[in-house]
Amino acid sequence: MAVDITTDLNVVRNIGIMAHIDAGKTTTTERILFYTGISYKIGEVHDGAAVMDWMEQEQERGITITSAATTCWWKDHQINIIDTPGHVDFTAEVERSLRVLDGSVAVFDGVAGVEPQTMTVWRQANKYSVPRMCFVNKLDRTGADFFRCVDMMVERLNSTPLVLQLPIGAESDFLGVVDLVGMRALTWRGETTMGEDYTVEEIPAELAEQAAEYREKLLETLSEADDDVMEKYLEGEEFTVAELETAIRRATLADKLNPVLCGTAFKNKGVQPLLDAVVKYLPSPLDVDAIVGHKPGDEETEIKRKPSDDEPFSGLAYKIAADPHLGKLTYVRVYSGVLEAGSTVVNSVNGRKERIGKVYQMHANKREEIASVGAGQIVAVMGLKDTKTGHTLCDSNNQVVLESMTFPAPVIEVA
């Protein structure tokens, strides 16, 4: 049965995961889906056994659990993970996916640090001011160096890393992280299960000095990005966790700095706090006031559409994929208004009418047919005939062409 998807947009996160090949994008994504994919609806509770069954089933059937967009739920938030190709050859495709996401997580190999493909995608993301967090992965590997990787973020990406965590232990003795916002230690000791799979402890005595030093750095960096924090910092006042989180979110959304977390996706030491941080610090569709487009055939006349169901429908087709069961699927980000299955819309780029066949929300382990979907969501549409990636679909009485991207993207020299 088809359902209506009406979700409070405040709880939606449209994110991409970007990385140099082999840094661990797939493993991190799979870890995220492992913890979230099963409980795809608010309130559902599953035990560890159910999760394992699902993982085994997926493996047996050989289903790839990443698609052009996968929806999952984490602590009452809907996270739509948009696939971002990691290869430089797919530059245009990277740009298209950057266009439809609201925020991103860059995954780094803790041994290799900042690698060329990440530099390229990072600079493309700069172009759209995409708010970004960093996850330094593979800290269990021999030769992993979190601090070197953070230094490389400054040197090679020209970014402002805001270190939110410090590693506890290294390589095969990597145990967990110091959370510099809560000033506590999160350690992983047992096997992975669903939910909060770590123990909250006091910061180990041998790391107390380093934690105090990095907490000070965190406050300094944050105060440079945020006047309210600066004022309080200069007065020498204490910050509550909530105040810091609000300020970090504000500065991240303004693309002034990049929160940095660390861990290993391999053994899931760090992925759950990463999900918490996605929810806390990356934007919802409502954090963008409006999408700017223009009148069809008239690039001078600007049209703005707010992320609201009350606006006329507009959406961007960003990827066409072949599904083994459903055939051709067009992935669409809805920017404004409501997209209804069975309705007719117009492709404002080529002027053709398109009938919207079935509409699906894609989950890791299932797809859900939906009757209508509101602004801010990402869905797969079946039945489109003349729509290509980059085309705008909209209400025929209120036409708009959403800002076109320039292709090919500029070639960026990497050192």
Residues forming the annotated binding site for GTP? 19-26, 83-87, 137-140
The total number of residues written for the chain in this structure? 415
CB-nearer residue toward ligand GDP: 117 or 124:
117
Angle of helix 241-253 versus helix 208-225 axis, rounded to 10:
50
186 interacts with ligand GDP by CB under 6 A: no
137 interacts with ligand GDP by CB under 6 A: yes
138 interacts with ligand GDP by CB under 6 A: yes
In the list 123, 141, 156, 184, the residue contacting ligand GDP (rule: CB under 6 A) is 141
Could you tell me the maximum CA-CA distance found in the chain, to the nearest angstrom? 67
- Say if residue 408 is preceded by a cis peptide, omega within 30 of 0: yes
DSSP H helices, 235-321, are 241-253, 271-281
d(CA 145, CA 113): 8
CB-nearer residue toward ligand GDP: 26 or 258:
26
Segment interacting with ligand GDP (CB under 6 A) among 48-56, 133-141, 225-233, 359-367: 133-141
Site for ligand GDP in 68-87 (CB under 6 A): 86
Residue 147 Cβ, how far from ligand GDP at the closest point, in Å? Answer: 17
DSSP H helices, 203-270, are 208-225, 227-234, 241-253
265 interacts with ligand GDP by CB under 6 A: yes
CB-nearer residue toward ligand GDP: 19 or 55:
19
Site for ligand GDP in 3-22 (CB under 6 A): 19, 21-22
270 interacts with ligand GDP by CB under 6 A: no
Task: Give the count of alpha carbons within 13 A of 349, CB side only.
Answer: 17
Residue 107 Cβ, how far from ligand GDP at the closest point, in Å? Answer: 7
What's the chain's Rg over C-alpha atoms?
22
264 interacts with ligand GDP by CB under 6 A: yes
How many residues of this chain interact with ligand GDP, rule: CB under 6 A? 16
The SS3 assignment for 337 reads coil
Sign, CA dihedral 394-396-399-403, equals positive
Residues at the site binding ligand GDP, with contacts judged by CB under 6 A: 19, 21-27, 86, 137-138, 140-141, 264-266
